[in-house]
Amino acid sequence: MTQKYYTVTWDQLHRDSKALAWRLLDRGPYRGIVAITRGGLIPAAIIARELDCRLIESVSIVTYDEEKRGQPRVAKPPVAAGDGEGWLIVDDLVDTGTTARVVRALLPKAHFATVYAKPAGKPTVDTFITEVSQDTWILFPWDTEPQFVAPIAKTATR
């Protein structure tokens, strides 16, 4: 299957994250937001501002190394969120649902929202804004210049 790429700009990400906040407004208020690092950090900040939520926690699940998928590993659990009761989980994208299932297991009572969703991952989240095809790789603004650039830590000589 041919890989497709879809570039998301900073402006578009901001608009889509704000649209997600509008969709979530009537489902709150939330005790806090759990941002899934790293991709969920910026959408979570935008949504936190729009929902006037100041308590932010994070969870780090390592699944990807650039475009190569591996086994999910919890690098940092969301301790402050307990079982998720009254909390909102935010991520940039649900792809296959692998990361989402791990986070759901940690926070079974939380509401899970993503900005973008692929068909295989849609059933693992409660709310999303935009669906993209399963064979599309989204290039987020932090991944491009305007084409893919490896992170500095992987290319720097020491």
Residue 57 CB contacts under 8 Å (≥ 6 apart), including other chains: 32, 33, 34, 35, 78, 79, 80, 81, 87
Spatial contact of 93 and 114, defined as CB atoms under 8 Å apart: yes
User: Is-contact 150 66, C-beta < 8 A?
Assistant: yes
Local confidence band at 110 (pLDDT 50, 70, 90 cut-offs): very high
* pLDDT per residue as tens digits for the range 133-152: 999 999 999 988 866 878 88
The letter for the amino acid at 158 is R
Is 138 one of the annotated binding-site residues?
A: yes
> Is the bond leading into 43 cis (omega within 30 degrees of zero)?
no
Q: What is the dotted CATH code of the domain comprising 4-145?
A: 3.40.50.2020
The reply, when asked if residue 52 is annotated as ligand binding, is no
Per-residue pLDDT at 158 exceeds 70:
no
- The answer on whether 22 is annotated among ligand-binding residues is no
Write out the two tokens for 82.
Answer: 């307990």
Q: Write out pLDDT tens, residues 11-68.
A: 999 999 999 999 999 998 999 999 999 999 999 999 999 999 999 999 999 876 656 6
Give me the residue label for tokens 């295989």: 120
Which residues are catalytic, by number?
91-92, 95
pTM of the entire predicted model = 0.86
Averaged pLDDT score across all residues of the chain? 92
User: pLDDT above 90 covers what percent of the chain?
Assistant: 78
Residue written as token pair 């990361």? 99
Report, as an integer, the average pLDDT of 120-133: 97
Residue 72's identity, in one-letter code, is P
